[in-house]
């Protein structure tokens, strides 16, 4: 039986996508060749890349608005430095909402001055800062839409005239936003879009070409754009499986339809965390809670062994919290069925009955 997979990333993908990917490994589009052995310059793969780039833009509502999509390598972690390399001339503003933001800040400091506009480090990142002032004259403002480790999510994005850069690794394609408010969006594929290996970058072309430094080709957005995301060998399998996942999302009605399901799943788990006296949520402000990653703990840690046994017996995988938070984390990305959350809630209720 398939496990209920709450893994934070790499994570669950739709079962149809696993099936189609397996078929493509054996015989891609009737070519009698594997997707893994054909040239990335073949007409078949070029079509995959072009469709994936176009579909990513259209799902985000960004087609014909001056944006381009790229599938690059190096993970979101490379985007921490690549964004700064391409955009930071003098001074940038960063919102520090967790481990990933902290890492992005560290990289940006190699290229220029970084202002921490606001931070929630004082409370181990269990909330989203609000009512902060954004200084004028910044090259860009950077934020992290969903804090995968701590389970917080930005609902109100920074209001700024500067270009807005966002690490959306763990909630892209999960909720309906006005994506045109952002100038650069990046996301490692392995949280909500596909297998590890590809990184989606969506960039508004007008913000590029403004820094005076020389940029190495592989780190230059313009070089990748000029070459239609084929400057070098792209991560072909990850791009292909990402395309299958994006098509799955489109068939299900796109981001709006998916957001509805994600809201229902999140309501199930948070209602139980709030109701069940044996559990406590890590994020206190309800409006800051992530619909993707719900972090919680036992109120009585002596129940840990019993709870761990119960959820493992129920076929649940990947529920342990990140080491910097402890406790539990239920990651509920797009492909996680609502039924899996119902199984988890049932296990939480079983524990209550036994205790």
Angle at 142 between CA 138 and CA 143, to 5 degrees: 145
Q: Give the residue among 319, 260, 257 at the shortest CA–CA distance from 294.
A: 319
Q: Give the residue with the Cβ less far from ligand PLP, 77 or 350.
A: 77
Q: Give the residue with the Cβ less far from ligand PLP, 78 or 86.
A: 78
Regarding 144 and contact with ligand PLP (CB under 6 A), the answer is yes
Which residue among 100, 125, 127, 311 contacts ligand PLP (CB under 6 A)? Answer: 100
Regarding 77 and contact with ligand PLP (CB under 6 A), the answer is yes
* Closest CB to ligand PLP: residue number: 75
Regarding 291 and contact with ligand PLP (CB under 6 A), the answer is no
**Distance between the two ends of the chain, CA-based, in angstroms?**
28
Tokens of 199: 């990184």
Q: Give the residue with the Cβ less far from ligand PLP, 12 or 347.
A: 12
Q: Give the residue with the Cβ less far from ligand PLP, 142 or 247.
A: 142
- Check if 167 is active-site: yes
CA 207 to chain centre: 23
Q: Give the residue with the Cβ less far from ligand PLP, 28 or 237.
A: 237
Regarding 151 and contact with ligand PLP (CB under 6 A), the answer is no
Regarding 170 and contact with ligand PLP (CB under 6 A), the answer is yes
**Phi, psi at residue 104, to the nearest 5°?**
-65, -40
Smallest distance from ligand PLP to CB 148, Å: 3
Distance from C-alpha of 262 to C-alpha of 265, rounded to nearest angstrom: 5
Tokens of 260: 């509805």
* Stretch of 47-55, 71-79, 84-92, 274-282 lying at the interface with ligand PLP (CB under 6 A): 71-79
Q: Give the residue among 279, 274, 316, 329 at the shortest CA–CA distance from 301.
A: 279
* Stretch of 113-121, 166-174, 307-315, 329-337 lying at the interface with ligand PLP (CB under 6 A): 166-174
Pattern 192-221, binding to ligand PLP, x per CB under 6 A?
------------------------------
Which one from 139, 183, 191, 248 is the annotated catalytic residue? 191
Which one from 100, 139, 171, 288 is the annotated catalytic residue? 100
Distance from C-alpha of 317 to C-alpha of 311, rounded to nearest angstrom: 8
- C-alpha dihedral over 211, 215, 221, 222, to 10 degrees? 80
Regarding 75 and contact with ligand PLP (CB under 6 A), the answer is yes
Distance from C-alpha of 71 to C-alpha of 195, rounded to nearest angstrom: 13
Peptide bond into 203 cis (omega under 30): no
* Stretch of 74-82, 111-119, 217-225, 250-258 lying at the interface with ligand PLP (CB under 6 A): 74-82
Residue with tokens 């936003």: 177
Smallest distance from ligand PLP to CB 79, Å: 8
Smallest distance from ligand PLP to CB 295, Å: 13
* Stretch of 44-52, 164-172, 202-210, 341-349 lying at the interface with ligand PLP (CB under 6 A): 164-172
The stretches of the chain forming alpha helices (DSSP H) are 15-26, 43-59, 75-87, 99-108, 221-226, 236-251, 254-275, 304-313, 338-354
- Check if 100 is active-site: yes
Tokens of 281: 């949520």
Tokens of 202: 């969506």
Smallest distance from ligand PLP to CB 170, Å: 4
Smallest distance from ligand PLP to CB 132, Å: 20
Tell me if 188 sits within 8 A of 76, measured CB to CB: yes
- Check if 312 is active-site: no
DSSP letter for each residue of 170-224: TTTTTS---GGG-SEEEEETTTTTSSTT-EEEEEEGGG-S---S---GGG-HHHH
Which residue among 4, 9, 298, 328 contacts ligand PLP (CB under 6 A)? Answer: 9
Regarding 76 and contact with ligand PLP (CB under 6 A), the answer is yes
- Residues forming the active site: 100, 167, 191
Q: Residues interacting with ligand PLP, by CB under 6 A?
A: 9, 75-77, 100, 144, 148, 167, 169-170, 188, 191
């Amino acid at each position: 039986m398939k496990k209920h997979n709450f893994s934070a990333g790499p994570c669950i993908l739709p079962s149809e996508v696993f099936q189609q990917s397996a078929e493509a490994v054996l015989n891609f589009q009737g070519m009698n060749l594997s997707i893994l052995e054909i040239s990335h310059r073949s007409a078949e793969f070029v079509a995959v890349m072009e469709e994936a780039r176009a579909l990513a833009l259209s799902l985000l509502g960004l087609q014909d608005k001056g944006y381009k999509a790229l599938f690059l390598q190096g993970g979101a972690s490379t985007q921490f430095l690549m964004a700064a390399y391409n955009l930071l001339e003098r001074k940038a503003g960063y919102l520090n909402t967790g481990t990933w933001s902290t890492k992005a800040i560290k990289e940006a400091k190699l290229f220029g001055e970084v202002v921490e506009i606001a931070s929630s480090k004082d409370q181990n990142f269990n909330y989203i800062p609000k009512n902060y002032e954004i200084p004028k004259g910044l090259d860009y403002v950077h934020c992290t839409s969903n804090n995968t480790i701590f389970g917080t999510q930005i609902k109100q994005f920074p209001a700024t005239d500067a270009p807005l850069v966002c690490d959306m690794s763990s909630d892209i394609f999960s909720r309906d936003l006005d994506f045109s408010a952002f100038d650069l969006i990046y996301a490692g594929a392995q949280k909500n879009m596909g297998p590890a290996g590809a990184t989606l970058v969506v960039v508004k072309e007008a913000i590029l070409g403004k820094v005076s430094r020389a940029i190495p080709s592989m780190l230059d957005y313009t070089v990748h754009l000029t070459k239609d995301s084929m400057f070098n060998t792209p991560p072909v399998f990850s791009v292909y499986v990402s395309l299958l996942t994006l098509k799955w999302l489109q068939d299900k009605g796109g981001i709006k339809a998916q957001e509805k399901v994600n809201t229902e799943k999140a309501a199930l788990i948070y209602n139980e965390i709030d109701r069940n006296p044996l559990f406590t949520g890590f994020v206190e402000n309800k409006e800051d809670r992530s619909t993707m990653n719900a972090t919680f703990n036992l109120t009585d840690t002596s129940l840990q062994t019993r709870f761990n046994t119960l959820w493992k017996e129920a076929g649940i995988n990947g529920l342990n919290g990140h080491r910097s938070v402890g406790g539990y984390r239920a990651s509920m990305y797009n492909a996680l069925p609502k039924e899996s959350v119902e199984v988890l809630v049932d296990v939480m209720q079983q524990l209550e009955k036994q205790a």
